[in-house]
Amino acid sequence: MKINDVTLTIREGMVVWPGEPEVDLHRVKKLEEGANANVTYMGFAVHTGTHVDAPRHFIADGNSVDLLDLNMLIGEVTVVEIPQDVDHISAAVIARSGLAVGTERVLFKTRNSNYWVENRGDFQPGFVGITEDGAQALVKLGVKLVGIDYLSIAPYKMSRPTHLVLLKEKMVVIEGLDLSKVKPGKYTLYCLPLKLANADGAPARVILVEG
């Protein structure tokens, strides 16, 4: 059995979505200063790093992240590699991907993964995302969980249409994956977002298990 950790490390200075708070991660109690124990404070938006979107992210009365079905967050997943020259994952791109009807969970590995390899600290607006018609194609295939290797499932400044298609179907959305060291194929997914009451998303530890 091989465990692939596809989670970004949350750290100060990491890339965040434009307009969202920078990561604040520092010790507020220190052994070297006489404290009984080290204690670290963390402050950042729930959509920082590798995270899960809940329907409430774009739907006012949608479920919050603490109400997501854990059965969908654990199970067989297909990693699909999208060619490096693809700018958007459209319905046509999905049709060429070989995804079968009835596939429940899919993660898209795109050229976005190069950003993590290159350790790009600045936001990349040209990242690859799923278009509205691409999202509709996933719904027709019966997909219940979809993930991608940058901070949004949708292309930059086109967030709402894609998210609404997916989240209205109560599809689980995982964003900010690091798939740079993962080959296309089938794995067992374990994705456990923090159980945050009434939140529209949450950071998650995500692993893909082989064998």
CATH code, domain with 123: 3.50.30.50
Q: Write the pLDDT tens digit of every residue in 1-10.
A: 999 999 999 9
**Residue 138 main-chain phi, psi, to 5 deg:** -65, -40
By the 8 A CB rule, do 79 and 209 touch? no
Low-confidence ranges of the chain (pLDDT < 50): none
pLDDT at 120: 79
- Per the CB < 8 A criterion, the answer to whether 174 and 189 are in contact is no
Range of 198's domain? Answer: 2-210
pLDDT score of 30: 98
53-90 tens-digit pLDDT: 999 999 999 999 999 999 999 999 999 999 999 999 99
Catalytically active residues, by annotation: 57
Overall domain count for the chain: 1
Q: What is the Cα–Cα distance from 197 to 99, expressed in whole angstroms? A: 34
Q: pLDDT value at position 211?
A: 84
pLDDT the model gives residue 121: 81
Burial 24-59 (b: 16+ CB within 10 A, else e): eeeeeeeeeeeeeeeeeeeebbbbbbbbbbbbbbbe
Q: What is the pTM of this model?
A: 0.97
